[in-house]
Amino acid sequence: MKSDDLLPKIDRRTLVSGLALLPAAGSLLSTPVRAQNASSAPLASWTDGPAKQAIIDFVRTTTDRLSPEFVAPEDRIACFDQDGTLWVEKPIYTQLVYCLDRVPAAVAQKPELKNQEPFKTVMSGDKAAIAALPLPALEKILTATLTGMSVNTFEADVAKWLHTAKHPRWDRLYTDLTYQPMQEALQFMRDGGYKTYIVTGGGQDFVRVYAQRVYGIPPEQVVGTMGGIKFGYTKDGKPFLTKEPKLLLNDDNAGKPQGIHLMIGRQPRAAFGNSVGDRQMLEYTGAGGGARLMMLVLHDDAQREYAYGPANGLPDSKVGAFTQALYDEARKDGWTVISMKNDWKRIFAFD
Amino acid sequence: MKSDDLLPKIDRRTLVSGLALLPAAGSLLSTPVRAQNASSAPLASWTDGPAKQAIIDFVRTTTDRLSPEFVAPEDRIACFDQDGTLWVEKPIYTQLVYCLDRVPAAVAQKPELKNQEPFKTVMSGDKAAIAALPLPALEKILTATLTGMSVNTFEADVAKWLHTAKHPRWDRLYTDLTYQPMQEALQFMRDGGYKTYIVTGGGQDFVRVYAQRVYGIPPEQVVGTMGGIKFGYTKDGKPFLTKEPKLLLNDDNAGKPQGIHLMIGRQPRAAFGNSVGDRQMLEYTGAGGGARLMMLVLHDDAQREYAYGPANGLPDSKVGAFTQALYDEARKDGWTVISMKNDWKRIFAFD
């Protein structure tokens, strides 16, 4: 009896010490606010169909030791675009809403901006004029509101803003507007031992503020557009970091595989996107051997969310573009298109 | 008997599925060449004394739930410099040896380099002249041997070189010249749930080639000097990445906290270094609240390894400098200095 007793104990201790090594163990100990699966069945908010099946088949075939397409645990890397893939990107990117909201504070700190464009237009509150601002004007706004402050100040500002700013259509916090089926896909991939990364054109520092809380993804697994960082000291000699108005990497289009190489150093096995900005990431993911999963979210549900791009014959749109060319490439290369309308039973956790 | 048989099996399966979630599980499944602890006691190659005690106390106090200095698992980040901290950096950095060894191949590919300096000097084999090459000349060599090729070609070249190139003093592979006590410190930190990172002035892509095999550290946990990466397609349309002659981040001195912010996005709790290049990393680590561990390896053992810097009254050296000013700052700020001579029972696994 004694030796029989001993065996399970040893195994349990080994398991517990193994769990202590898990970087994600923190999420088990703290209280994540992100939406949990509605039911214990995997991908419960997905309609049975080719999209759901593609995810299930991929995880099954790459995690089954007896499968010829088994993937070693350390190579299980899955990358997710954010805007339009994990949460709503319309009518404009959430980070851009933040930047526009921060303009008054930026002007208060630098009063000379008040009479300069595009700050004058933003301060006027003229929505049509603001919506018509060209890209160089937007870049000036990004620089004025995303750089020049310490990293800590920026993080505190973003966190504060996220607790009050609401989306005009749903009158809900932006962090409530993540897609429930994609939250389930993130969890399902992680349950299969995949390390989930956000690979976003958005600011790396911006997304990191809420990625753990909202998606269960720690800061080191957020790859985004990176700006320069300056190291300096406070008057009393304490080191701190300042966000500089210098672009290190635009993590969009060809920048996505570049960011993946810099931050991860391995080719992903799975990638999820929704626009031409994700094209190269999906191509790069698909370029390796063995089982690969490439998926694109198609916004074809004007009633529950938005419809844009080639779905329903709509013209190619500029922001978050799911162009006809992307659609054609997806078909040619065997990428799976996710129809929000048909593949998702519900869009948000609050639905 | 049947149910007794079953128990270990179930536990074993649970253990295996738990291990499947471990990013580092690969090292358990493959055959790591890195040295294992000589005995099961932690830090077995360390002499009992203040350095060993500082590591043990830090891990104990930050992982004990009842301790006021308990650190949440997700915040357990430990950063290790490489050259001179984890492995030998004398007489010159290993990566520089690689670059010098690669010069003939670079010249073969671009014959016009043959009559240009500094390639002419390197090809002459004149060791004294090579050793006297100034920094701008070395930069030309780095650019010619570390950029211009695909990421995959580079990784294969480095891997091949590491299997044959030997250190002149010990006539051993460079990857054998890691410090056994530091391997134990890495493992001890990981056993305490710390995520261990290399934060090196060396090339990020270079160190990633062997970091998993030699230190048990996966590529995404190697922060190093980063170059530009270009995305392109082969003739038959397959995507690949090329290493560009463009510096994104010099991960040394103030670049270390910058690299840590870019790649990790959190302040480390522990940092190990050995030179002025690690100063800002240790300052940045020490700037947060709660328990912090800052350690510096002092090379004061000419017999078993090397002695340089202020130890034994030697003058400040240029490469891998443990200057008197650094020594003074360590004393002032409570950083622990590790004496290789006194704190380490042995230096290498083969000792």
pLDDT tens for A312-327 read 566 655 545 788 889 8
Query: Are B8 and A12 within 8 A, CB to CB?
Result: no
CB nearest to B7's CB, from A7, A23, A195? A7
Are residues A291 and A152 part of one domain?
no
Residue B128 and residue B133: Cα distance in Å, rounded?
Answer: 9
Query: Are B15 and A17 within 8 A, CB to CB?
Result: no
Q: Is the pLDDT of residue A124 over 70?
A: yes
- The better pLDDT of the pair A261, A315 is held by A261
What is the value of pTM for the model shown? 0.88
Q: Is the pLDDT of residue A22 over 90?
A: no
CB nearest to A254's CB, from B12, B231, B238? B231
The per-residue DSSP string of B86-117 comes to TB---SS-HHHHHHHHHHHHHHHHSGGGGGST
Which chain A positions have a beta carbon within 8 Å of B265's beta carbon? 204-205, 208, 218-220, 222
On whether the CB atoms of residues B226 and B249 are closer than 8 A, the answer is yes
- Is residue A203 a part of any domain in this protein? yes
Query: Are A193 and B14 within 8 A, CB to CB?
Result: no
Work out the angle between the directed axes of helices B94-109 and B204-215 (0-180°, nearest 10): 130
Are residues A187 and A128 part of one domain?
no
On whether the CB atoms of residues A83 and A202 are closer than 8 A, the answer is yes
Average pLDDT over residues A227-245: 96
- Is residue B22 a part of any domain in this protein? no
Average pLDDT over residues A208-217: 98
Residue A273 and residue A256: Cα distance in Å, rounded?
Answer: 11
Are residues A267 and A149 part of one domain?
no
Question: Which residues, other chains included, contact B214 with Cβ-Cβ below 8 Å and sequence gap of 6+?
Answer: B33, B34, B175, B178
Token reading at A198: 């956000």
Which chain B positions have a beta carbon within 8 Å of A228's beta carbon? 258
Are residues B69 and B121 part of one domain?
no
Query: Are A219 and B72 within 8 A, CB to CB?
Result: no
**Which pLDDT score, from 0 to 100, does residue B9 have?**
34
Closest CA to B322 of B343, B344, B300: B300
Query: Are A220 and B258 within 8 A, CB to CB?
Result: no
Closest CA to A34 of A213, A298, A168, A239: A213
Are residues A211 and A330 part of one domain?
yes
Which chain B positions have a beta carbon within 8 Å of A12's beta carbon? 11
Q: Which of A167, A193, A228 lies at the terminal end of a domain, its last residue?
A: A167
Q: How far is A147 from chain B (nearest CA, A)?
A: 15
Token reading at A127: 């929505």
Q: What is the pLDDT along chain B (351 residues), one digit of tens a residue?
A: 333 333 333 333 333 333 333 333 333 333 334 444 444 689 999 999 999 999 999 999 999 999 999 999 999 999 999 999 999 999 999 999 999 999 999 999 999 999 999 999 999 999 899 989 998 999 999 999 999 999 999 999 999 999 999 999 999 999 999 999 999 999 999 999 999 999 999 999 999 999 999 999 999 999 999 999 999 999 999 999 999 999 999 999 999 999 999 999 999 999 999 999 999 999 999 998 899 999 999 999 999 999 987 655 666 555 457 888 898 999 999 999 999 999 999 999 999
Query: What element of type H or E holds A154?
Result: helix A151-162
On whether the CB atoms of residues A259 and A47 are closer than 8 A, the answer is no
Q: How far is A192 from chain B (nearest CA, A)?
A: 7
Interface test with A, best of B209, B222, B231 (most A CBs within 10 A): B231
* Pairing of β B77-80 and β B195-203: parallel
- Is residue A134 a part of any domain in this protein? yes
On whether the CB atoms of residues B124 and B115 are closer than 8 A, the answer is no
Which chain A positions have a beta carbon within 8 Å of B27's beta carbon? 74
**Chain A residue closest in CA terms to B65:** A29
Give phi and psi for A77, each to the nearest 5: -120, 125
Interface test with B, best of A19, A75, A204, A262 (most B CBs within 10 A): A262
- Is residue A79 a part of any domain in this protein? yes
Unique residue bearing structure tokens 């930069």? B139
Its ipTM equals 0.87
- Over the range A258-295, which residues count as b (16 or more CB within 10 Å of their CB) and which as e? bbbbbbbbbbbbbbbbbbbbbbbbbbbbbbeeebbbbb
Are residues B105 and B181 part of one domain?
no
**Which pLDDT score, from 0 to 100, does residue A314 have?**
62
**Which pLDDT score, from 0 to 100, does residue B308 have?**
84
The per-residue DSSP string of B1-53 comes to -HHHHHHHHHHHHHHHHHHHT-GGGHHHHS---SPPPSSSSTTTTBPSSHHHH
Token reading at A196: 């989930």
Which chain B positions have a beta carbon within 8 Å of A72's beta carbon? 26, 29-30
**Which pLDDT score, from 0 to 100, does residue A316 have?**
57
**In the structure, what pLDDT confidence band is assigned to residue A265 with cuts at 50, 70 and 90?**
very high
Q: How many CA atoms lie within 13 A of B278 on its CB side?
A: 35
Which chain B positions have a beta carbon within 8 Å of A13's beta carbon? none
**Which pLDDT score, from 0 to 100, does residue B138 have?**
92
Looking at residue B200, which CATH number applies to its domain?
3.40.50.1000
Q: Which of B113, B146, B167 lies at the terminal end of a domain, its last residue?
A: B167
Q: Which of A142, A167, A192 lies at the terminal end of a domain, its last residue?
A: A167
**Which pLDDT score, from 0 to 100, does residue B30 have?**
35
Are residues B103 and B245 part of one domain?
no
Q: How many CA atoms lie within 13 A of B110 on its CB side?
A: 14
Residue B260 and residue B266: Cα distance in Å, rounded?
Answer: 7
Average pLDDT over residues A23-36: 38
Are residues A333 and A281 part of one domain?
yes
Q: Is the pLDDT of residue A30 over 80?
A: no
Are residues B270 and B139 part of one domain?
no
**In the structure, what pLDDT confidence band is assigned to residue A131 with cuts at 50, 70 and 90?**
confident
The distance in angstroms from the start CA to the end CA of chain A is: 54
- Is residue A348 a part of any domain in this protein? no
**Residue span of the structural domain in which A107 resides:** 94-167
On whether the CB atoms of residues B37 and B188 are closer than 8 A, the answer is no
Token reading at B275: 């030179």
- The better pLDDT of the pair B21, A299 is held by A299
Query: Are A239 and B280 within 8 A, CB to CB?
Result: yes
Are residues B139 and B209 part of one domain?
no
Closest CA to B141 of B90, B104, B112: B104
Interface test with B, best of A9, A12, A22 (most B CBs within 10 A): A22
Query: Are B280 and A231 within 8 A, CB to CB?
Result: yes
Query: Are A195 and B15 within 8 A, CB to CB?
Result: no
Are residues B294 and B187 part of one domain?
yes
- Is residue B348 a part of any domain in this protein? no
The per-residue DSSP string of B213-234 comes to HHHS--GGGEEEEEEEEEEEE-
Which chain B positions have a beta carbon within 8 Å of A15's beta carbon? 11, 14-15, 18
Per DSSP (E only), the strands in A236-339 are: 239-249, 270-273, 293-298, 336-339
Q: What's the structural domain count of chain A?
A: 2
**Which pLDDT score, from 0 to 100, does residue A324 have?**
84
Are residues A155 and A264 part of one domain?
no
Q: How many CB pairs under 8 A join A and B?
A: 164
- Over the range A12-43, which residues count as b (16 or more CB within 10 Å of their CB) and which as e? eeebeebbebbbbbbbeeeeeebbebeeeebb
Lowest mean pLDDT among A26-35, A111-120, A128-137: A26-35
**Which pLDDT score, from 0 to 100, does residue A147 have?**
96
Which chain B positions have a beta carbon within 8 Å of A212's beta carbon? 74
- The better pLDDT of the pair A317, A64 is held by A64
- Is residue B3 a part of any domain in this protein? no
Q: Is the pLDDT of residue A33 over 70?
A: no
**Which pLDDT score, from 0 to 100, does residue B288 have?**
87
- Is residue B252 a part of any domain in this protein? yes
Query: Are B73 and A204 within 8 A, CB to CB?
Result: no
